[in-house]
Amino acid sequence: MINIVIFGAPGAGKGTQAQLLAEKYDFLHISTGEMLRQEVALGTPLGQRAKAIMDRGDLVGDDIVAGLLARAISLRSTLPSPDADLDPIDIERKGMPHRPEGCIIDGYPRTVQQAQTLEFLFRKLDRKIDCVVAIDVPRDELVRRIHERAAISNRSDDNEDVIRHRIEEYDLKTQPVLDYYRVSGLLVSVDGSGEIAETNTRIVNLINRRLGL
């Protein structure tokens, strides 16, 4: 099974690219940000805790995010085998991919400690991270994209002050994760300043060369 982490600053487009890659390779897309927003929308106790943190632009605590991630990864380990007598439509209705050969993770890890937690979770399932894709986008372009997204999404965590704080948090806490994965030999970087399709082609070419797909 192939497991890929998509890495990038707020506004880099990692969520969009992760979804495109999941569709192309038929992998499960695990977005910690989306899982958190779902919890907030449902008004769960966890969602209420997370909302206050997200509205400030701070990183949600490791205990919350790691719990959601462990649940998502563990779900994959219990999916039916390809030989199981189960209609693919029934599987899709339950929100499970019909060919669970890998996963794409975006929004996690954001700290070195989270990177180590992710490795621990994978080891428990006898799996590993195969590749970490870092999407590089200039700062001015990141700010422009987030402003544009805020105008159409009305997300409470996309106002001017929160945008600046999130980027500062990224520089302070998340950039060291790049060094962590660079030392491990897992990191590949791609220029993400172009159009979505253009960036996606670059990423696909990198992954195919890297993993021999």
Element (H, E) at 189: strand 187-191
> Residues 45, 119: contact at Cβ < 8 Å?
no
- Print pLDDT tens along the chain (213 aa): 789 999 888 889 999 999 999 999 888 888 877 888 887 888 887 778 878 777 777 767 777 777 777 777 765 544 333 333 433 333 333 444 444 468 899 888 888 888 998 898 888 878 889 999 999 998 888 888 887 877 776 655 556 677 777 778 887 878 899 999 999 999 999 999 989 999 999 999 999 999 887
Rounded distance between C-alpha atoms, residue 145 and residue 10, angstroms: 9
pTM for this entry: 0.74
Q: What is the per-residue DSSP string for 76-95?
A: HHTSPPTTSS--HHHHHHTT
